[in-house]
């Protein structure tokens, strides 16, 4: 990539803010140029080729879709990859700006100098597996890994063009035979789902090319190559030993038999090249560059962007850690084009790679150890008037806020119509950022962490459920396994000190979601404490933190006989308050100081009742109409509920006599250009 040629007539002299200085190359997707930033730094810019009838190669309405699809590429951790800097459109043509790596491609080196041997080959294998691990952990599948997409830079190999094939797939289904045939996996040639195992197959083929000068299934006619890939065994030449065994495993016809990139990297590194205290990807980068991997600073660990790997089953509580892109401020999450949600979830980013608790790259997020829970002071101040309005991105929902509000909408998920997307909110700027479709985000009270849960559990291919913890400032991520797939976890709820995350565990095997327990994740250690409980009659209700947060509570029963049952953190029943109505809130039915809880009244239809937590006596009741949704508490003297009888619907703050104090949000009952949809909102207590 170091050699450039002068620009041709018609080549751009500027792309966005970048001055184009030369032409690097050209391919089926578009042209690549060398350019300078306003600060004088060199970058590579790929400008996509126009398609038939003047359409861009990324399909109808492509600029917006292209920008959505490429946003994830910027969040790949920069381990042995050419970091994506920016994406945009210029004169209607999409482009991608990436770090400029000076050096030839692997294809050029092997063609000119012959196969790589011994140490050079080993470093290439380690570096490219490190890159694939980072790419997969960012929710991306490369889909076109091959010798011409590996640059041999001065500091080791770098993988380029990751995820571009996905961006250019106009079907947006995650299927289709996109790639370079001699390096394509059987399932890719047959038009199946292209998942991380396909990248491992391409990696194995590329390593055979590096070691022998030819791909393992030949380079003659296309039908012959395809037939060998589908039906014949690979020709590995004289490759032997650990590397040869690993490559053979990666070239299995069965995707399930191929190792995940992380596991393959672990096999190559071994204990000799991975000193204690060094995270996996840093060690891989150091080995690829021919350096000694530096140990992590005391008390510091690294964490991943979300992976897209298919690992072997692991044990509850397993985690993976790898450095994320600090500039992102948010993790890499798969972003899918509308209309392909269920299928794309399988192929594009909700399969996560797990490591083992306590290994050298783990240790969990750095966070204060959990101590004794302090009593929460009761706050009863009336809400101040709204001082600002904020429109939710992509929707017509409008927030009415005051900086003194003790709660704030911190995330939302929209499901329906032509768009399905989740957003989280920066606690400082107040801006909302898309996190990916069908993810259930929950921000910690201190704003440091966001918990991410996949919403469609059955569409994720791994046999277990998980939660992803994202450190917002650094982009570090920790993926924590919760339960085996028969059980599913929803309703994330943070403790008031942001140190623990509570999730409700459901059994959905009968098609009806039934709570059977809960899990508590300790953020400091990423340890998971599961508990089973007697949830007879709970009927889909979520578990919630109880006063003091040493116990939890769960509604049981329906109608007038419904009650509230309290459990210790081992799942043992400690107390029951019967006949109080249905305590069901999207946040928490128990007030912040724990003195009261709210239910739908057992005896008056369309009313809310407030009860004393200590005695179980009714404190007040008031009418809110026949169509409402209980959200929770504004503070200890004001409740929040959503009036669903109007259009727009409203989130209302009311006192304990039912008097409206303020409207927090106006939510049109139909969003997305008039097509019906559902918005799921979450609030964070500040």
452 within 8 A of 281, measured Cβ to Cβ: no
135 within 8 A of 144, measured Cβ to Cβ: no
Kindly state the greatest CA–CA separation across the chain. 85
d(CA 109, CA 402): 62
Strands 150-153 and 319-322: unpaired
Burial class of residue 537, CB neighbours in 10 A (0-12, 13-18, 19+): middle
Cβ-proximal residues to 213 (8 Å cutoff; 6+ apart), any chain: 110, 114, 115
**Which residue of the set 56, 64, 144, 507 is catalytic?**
144
Sign of CA dihedral 125, 130, 134, 136: positive
d(CA 438, CA 452): 10
**Dihedral over alpha carbons 460, 465, 466, 467 (to 10 degrees):** 90
182 within 8 A of 221, measured Cβ to Cβ: no
SS3 state of residue 685: strand
Q: Is 144 a catalytic residue?
A: yes
Cβ-proximal residues to 671 (8 Å cutoff; 6+ apart), any chain: 395, 396, 397, 414, 416, 417, 677, 679
464 within 8 A of 314, measured Cβ to Cβ: yes
How is residue 682 annotated by DSSP? Answer: E
Cβ-proximal residues to 260 (8 Å cutoff; 6+ apart), any chain: 136, 196, 200, 309, 310, 311, 312, 353
How is residue 649 annotated by DSSP? Answer: E
Q: What is the number of other CB atoms lying within 10 angstroms of the CB of residue 600? A: 21
User: Which helix (H) or strand (E) element contains residue 532?
Assistant: strand 528-532
SS3 state of residue 345: helix
What residue spans of 251-375 are helical by DSSP H?
261-269, 280-288, 341-347
Main-chain dihedrals φ then ψ at residue 289, nearest 5 degrees:
-85, -5
Active site residues: 144
């Amino acid at each position: 990539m170091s050699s450039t040629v002068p620009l041709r007539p018609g080549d751009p002299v500027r792309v966005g803010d970048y001055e184009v200085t030369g032409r690097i190359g050209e391919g089926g997707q578009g042209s690549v140029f060398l350019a300078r930033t306003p600060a004088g730094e060199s970058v590579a810019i790929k400008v996509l080729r126009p398609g038939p009838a003047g359409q861009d190669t990324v399909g109808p309405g492509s600029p917006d879709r292209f920008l959505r699809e490429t946003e994830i590429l910027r969040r790949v951790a920069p381990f042995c990859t050419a970091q994506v800097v920016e994406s945009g459109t210029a004169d209607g043509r999409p482009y991608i700006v990436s770090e400029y790596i000076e050096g030839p491609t692997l294809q050029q080196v092997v063609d000119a100098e012959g196969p790589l041997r011994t140490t050079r080959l080993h470093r290439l294998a380690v570096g490219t597996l490190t890159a694939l691990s980072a790419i997969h952990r960012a929710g991306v599948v490369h889909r076109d890994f091959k010798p011409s997409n590996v640059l041999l830079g001065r500091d080791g190999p770098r993988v380029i063009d990751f995820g571009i094939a996905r961006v250019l797939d106009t079907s947006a289904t995650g299927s289709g035979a996109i790639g370079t045939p001699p390096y394509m996996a059987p399932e890719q040639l047959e038009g199946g789902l292209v998942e991380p195992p396909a990248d491992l197959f391409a990696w194995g083929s590329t390593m055979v090319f590096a070691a022998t000068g030819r791909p393992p299934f030949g380079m003659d006619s296309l039908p012959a190559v395809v037939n060998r890939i589908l039906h014949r065994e690979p020709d590995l030449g004289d490759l032997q030993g650990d590397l040869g065994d690993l490559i053979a495993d990666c070239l299995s016809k069965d995707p399930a038999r191929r190792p995940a990139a992380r596991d393959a990297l672990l096999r190559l590194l071994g204990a000799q090249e991975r000193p204690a205290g060094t995270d996996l990807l840093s060690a891989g980068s150091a080995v690829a560059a021919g350096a000694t991997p530096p140990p992590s600073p005391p008390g510091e660990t690294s964490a991943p962007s979300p992976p897209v790997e298919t690992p072997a089953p692991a044990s509850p509580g397993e985690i993976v850690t790898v450095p994320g892109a600090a500039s992102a401020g948010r993790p890499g999450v798969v972003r899918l084009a509308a209309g392909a949600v269920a299928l794309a979830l399988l192929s594009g980013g909700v399969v996560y790679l797990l490591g083992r608790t306590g290994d050298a790259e783990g240790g969990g997020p750095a966070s204060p150890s959990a101590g004794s829970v302090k009593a929460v002071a009761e706050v009863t101040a009336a809400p101040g008037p709204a001082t600002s309005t904020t429109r939710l991105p992509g929707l017509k929902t409008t927030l009415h806020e005051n900086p003194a509000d003790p709660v704030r909408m911190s995330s939302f998920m929209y499901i329906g119509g032509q768009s399905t997307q989740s957003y989280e909110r920066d606690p400082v700027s107040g801006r909302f950022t898309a996190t990916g479709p069908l993810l259930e985000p929950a921000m910690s009270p201190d704003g440091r962490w966001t918990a991410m849960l996949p919403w469609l559990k059955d569409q994720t291919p791994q046999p277990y459920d998980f939660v992803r913890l994202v450190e917002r400032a650094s982009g570090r991520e920790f993926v924590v396994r919760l339960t085996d797939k028969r059980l599913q976890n929803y309703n994330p709820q943070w403790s008031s000190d942001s140190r623990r995350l509570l999730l409700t565990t459901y059994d959905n095997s009968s098609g009806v979601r039934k709570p059977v327990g809960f899990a508590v994740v300790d953020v400091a250690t990423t340890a998971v404490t599961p508990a089973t409980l007697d949830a007879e009659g709970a009927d889909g209700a979520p578990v919630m933190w109880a006063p003091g947060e040493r116990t939890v509570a769960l509604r049981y029963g329906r109608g007038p006989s419904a009650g509230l049952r309290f459990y210790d953190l081992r799942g043992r029943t400690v107390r029951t308050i019967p006949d109080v109505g249905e305590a069901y809130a999207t946040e928490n039915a128990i007030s912040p100081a724990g003195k009261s809880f709210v239910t739908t009244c057992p005896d008056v239809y369309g009313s809310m009742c407030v009860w004393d937590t200590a005695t179980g006596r009714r404190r007040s009741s008031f009418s809110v109409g026949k169509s409402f949704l209980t959200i929770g508490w504004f503070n200890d003297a004001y409740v929040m509920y959503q009036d669903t009888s109007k259009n727009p619907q409203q989130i209302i703050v009311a006192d304990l006599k039912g008097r409206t104090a303020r409207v927090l949000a106006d939510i049109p009952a139909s969003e997305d250009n008039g097509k019906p949809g559902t918005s799921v909102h979450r609030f964070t207590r500040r």
